[in-house]
Amino acid sequence: MSRVNLLDFTLPQLTEWLAAQGEKPFRARQVFQWIHQRGASDFDAMTDLAKSLREKLKAVAQVRAPAILSEHRSADGTVKWLFDVGVGNGIETVFIPEDDRGTLCVSSQVGCALDCKFCSTGRQGFNRDLAVGEIVGQLWVANKRLAEMGSTRLPSPRPSPKGEGEPSPRPVSNVVMMGMGEPLNNFGPVTDAMEVMLHDHAYGLSRRRVTLSTSGVVPHIRKLKERLPVALAVSLHAPNDAIRSRIMPVNDAYPIAELLAACRDYLEVAPRDFITFEYVMLKGVNDAPDHARELLRTLAGTPAKVNLIPFNPFPDSGFERTEPDRVRLFQKILLDAGIVATVRKTRGDDIDAACGQLAGQVVNRMKRKPVHFHPREARS
């Protein structure tokens, strides 16, 4: 019989599971804290549990995070891990240190089925959804590895609950669900995993410090609003439906007007009073001054911040990066109209850890052949 993986449980689920073994709720809280706050996987180390409970847990349970297959460190301090998620599959997770925070970019699926034309993960195809323990496990392992590497200068975003364990300054202060996969297409496990990330007895991250990025799966944005309204980033990437549908097939199902309506509804409960729109700058596709002006008209009425992302190339992508001057011009048009617009700094590109470069190892189970969209006729 395979042992239950306690990393798969939210606190209510762990409480229920332990209750079925005849244990009181406060035991669940203790175990939860041992696992997530102290990074324990060895039940013998959980010294404030009765010996009999420790023995029982050893027999039927385990704390099993995905194993690290490789670890790369970029010149800029970014760290990328490849994790083993079984039968030839690997997922990638990236840590991005900044002065005032440490952000972990977490994967939600093995590959992605949505086939955005500019995305390396999309190119890989799709194998399966990740389990809760595989999603939380990325954070659990990253905090441990970073602490071992000496990256503990960051304060914990919130003090540890009083009297419970030691305050552990964990290196990861922010999580972005921006790794491999479309998080809203793995809704249950992703939201359970984020519940653990937010829990005071686990990582204690606030809803503002956990950002979910979606390509715009409208019904699930509405579900997220009810279930766990964390900060939302939406991959828009185009000022109109014609361009968006060419580079993001998901737009055929959920066109821009529907997407923006869902975003405005989401703002009723969101931890921030704007939605972040990501906009990858693709040379000759969506980067002209006229596109910026059209974007302004499209976003009118939706409180928005625009994050311009320089395209990160990968082999045979068929796209090129917009020149920095042209990115700045695009940004200026937005800024002049009063829209907050930033240009995302490219981090970790020397280790292929930048946005859109995460490929991992995906045993593709989809039938479709990737279709490549070439923005311009003549290219070498």
Q: Which residues contact 334 (CB under 8 A, 6 or more apart)?
A: 292, 295, 296, 306, 341
Choose among ligand SF4, ligand SAH, none what residue 178 binds, the Cβ cut-off being 5 to 8 Å by kind: ligand SAH
Q: By CB under 6 A, tell whether 327 contacts ligand SF4.
A: no
Answer for the pair 344, 281: CB distance below 8 angstroms, yes or no.
no
Q: Which residues contact 226 (CB under 8 A, 6 or more apart)?
A: none
- CB of residue 320 to ligand SAH, shortest distance in Å: 11
Residue at 356: amino acid letter: G
Q: Which residue lies nearer to ligand SF4 by CB, 27 or 80?
A: 80
Q: By CB under 6 A, tell whether 138 contacts ligand SAH.
A: no
List 92, 134, 182, 195, catalytic entry:
92
Q: Which residue lies nearer to ligand SAH by CB, 53 or 281?
A: 281
Choose among ligand SF4, ligand SAH, none what residue 355 binds, the Cβ cut-off being 5 to 8 Å by kind: ligand SAH
Q: Which residue lies nearer to ligand SF4 by CB, 115 or 192?
A: 115
Please, what sign has the CA dihedral across residues 251, 256, 257, 259?
Answer: positive
105 is catalytic: no
Beta bridge partners of 308: 279, 343
Q: By CB under 6 A, tell whether 182 contacts ligand SF4.
A: yes
Beta strands in 133-261 (DSSP E): 174-177, 210-214, 231-235
Cα 258 from Cα 217, distance rounded (Å) = 10
Q: Cα 87–89–94 angle (5° rounding)?
A: 150
Joined tokens for residue 38: 């102290």
Residue at 113: amino acid letter: A
Q: Which residue lies nearer to ligand SAH by CB, 7 or 119?
A: 119
Q: Which residue lies nearer to ligand SAH by CB, 46 or 236?
A: 236
243: closest CA among 282, 193, 201?
Answer: 282
Q: Which of 356, 359, 361, 375 forms a contact with ligand SAH (CB under 6 A)?
A: 356
148 is catalytic: no
Q: Which residue is nearest to ligand SAH (CB)?
A: 356
List 112, 119, 263, 355, catalytic entry:
355
Q: Which residues contact 272 (CB under 8 A, 6 or more apart)?
A: 208, 231
Q: Which of 15, 215, 251, 298 forms a contact with ligand SAH (CB under 6 A)?
A: 215
Name residues contacting ligand SF4, limited to 198-217 (CB under 6 A).
215
DSSP assignment, residue 306?
A: E
Q: By CB under 6 A, tell whether 214 contacts ligand SAH.
A: yes
Q: Which residue lies nearer to ligand SAH by CB, 30 or 93?
A: 93
Tell how strand 90-97 and strand 102-105 pair up: antiparallel
Q: Which of 39, 66, 97, 122 forms a contact with ligand SF4 (CB under 6 A)?
A: 122
Binding characters for ligand SF4, 71-110, by CB under 6 A (x = yes): ----------------------------------------
Joined tokens for residue 366: 């989809």
Q: Which of 65, 104, 135, 178 forms a contact with ligand SAH (CB under 6 A)?
A: 178
Beta strands in 218-259 (DSSP E): 231-235
Binding characters for ligand SF4, 221-250, by CB under 6 A (x = yes): --------------x---------------
CB neighbour class for 101 (10 Å; exposed up to 12, middle 13-18, buried from 19)? middle
Q: By CB under 6 A, tell whether 286 contacts ligand SF4.
A: no
Cα 57 from Cα 18, distance rounded (Å) = 10
Q: By CB under 6 A, tell whether 114 contacts ligand SF4.
A: yes
Q: By CB under 6 A, tell whether 119 contacts ligand SF4.
A: yes
Q: Which residues contact 302 (CB under 8 A, 6 or more apart)?
A: 260, 263, 264, 275
Cα 226 from Cα 256, distance rounded (Å) = 22
E strand or H helix at 28, and its extent? helix 25-36
Q: Which of 116, 292, 308, 333 forms a contact with ligand SF4 (CB under 6 A)?
A: 116
Q: Which of 295, 355, 359, 362 forms a contact with ligand SAH (CB under 6 A)?
A: 355
Residues at the contact surface with ligand SF4, assessed by CB under 6 A:
112, 114-116, 119, 121-122, 181-182, 215, 235
Q: Annotated catalytic sites, by residue?
A: 92, 355
